[in-house]
Amino acid sequence: MRIDIITVVPELLSSPLNESILKRAQESGHAEIYVHNLRDYTDDKRRTVDDYPFGGEAGMVMKIEPVFRCIEKLKSERDYDEIIFTSPDGITYNQHEANRLSLMKNIIILCGHYKGIDYRIREHLITREISIGDYVLTGGELAACVIADSVVRIIPGAIGDEASALTDCFQDNLLAPPVYTRPAEFNGWKVPEVLLSGNFAEIEKWQEEQAWSRTKELRPDLIDGK
């Protein structure tokens, strides 16, 4: 899978996209992530990417031309399945959307900034608008990292232990059961007996029960489908 991220602050993206699982997924060829600096698509000396809004409100607005040039260049090189804009007024991101995106071949993520972007970009170039939650970030870069991270880790083969991606929280609308490691007792705090029993049927039953009870208690909306 290929992800092209368009931003005015490329520095914000380098570390989150180049460590740990994302680094390995790129090294093993499961994912390609490219970051494009929007200023490289400007045509003035000051590399201007924003301008004052028509109508005289406060704040700056991302200009249409550099975004258009960048997206058109990428589109002339390959087909894209989705051109995403990160914005607090998009659809709320969740595991279902991550799964859907992980099946795609090429996606673009345009990071929003300033007060907004010229609305014509959203009307004519963007195919999906995504919010990572009901709060406002300084820009869409962190949202783009969240999307890239959550998508790349579930590309088949991207993490060595594939089963662990499939048993993630939310994959079956349930929270994950608790996990423990050695020592079996620390400070008088014991690991649940069943996990030490070696009885895998019993362990699986316990894990399912825990997943259900934790979800019912902490996130009943996942079970009710609200």
Binding site residues, ligand ADE, CB under 6 A: 86-88, 112, 131-133, 135-137, 140, 143
Nearer to ligand ADE, 117 or 154 (CB): 117
Q: Count Cα neighbours of 80 within 13 Å in the Cβ-side half-sphere.
A: 22
Q: Which residue is nearest to ligand ADE (CB)?
A: 143
Taking residue 45's Cβ as centre, other Cβ atoms within 10 Å add up to: 6
Nearer to ligand ADE, 132 or 152 (CB): 132
Q: Name the β-bridge partners of 170.
A: none
Classify 212 as helix, strand or coil. Answer: helix
Q: Got the DSSP string for 162-208?
A: HHHHHTSTTTTSSPPPP---S-SEETTEEPPGGGGS--HHHHHHHHH
Nearer to ligand ADE, 132 or 158 (CB): 132
Nearer to ligand ADE, 33 or 211 (CB): 33
Nearer to ligand ADE, 38 or 159 (CB): 38
Alpha-carbon distance 154 to 111, whole Å? 22
- Interacting residues of 54 by C-beta distance below 8 A, sequence separation 6+: none
Nearer to ligand ADE, 53 or 139 (CB): 139
Question: What is the smallest separation between the CB atom of 163 and ligand ADE, expressed in angstroms?
Answer: 30
Sequence-ordered alpha helix ranges (H) in the chain? 11-17, 20-27, 64-77, 95-102, 119-124, 141-152, 162-166, 200-218, 220-224
Question: What is the smallest separation between the CB atom of 25 and ligand ADE, expressed in angstroms?
Answer: 22
Question: What is the smallest separation between the CB atom of 202 and ligand ADE, expressed in angstroms?
Answer: 43
Question: What is the smallest separation between the CB atom of 158 and ligand ADE, expressed in angstroms?
Answer: 23
Alpha-carbon distance 130 to 92, whole Å? 6
Question: What is the smallest separation between the CB atom of 121 and ligand ADE, expressed in angstroms?
Answer: 15
Question: What is the smallest separation between the CB atom of 14 and ligand ADE, expressed in angstroms?
Answer: 19
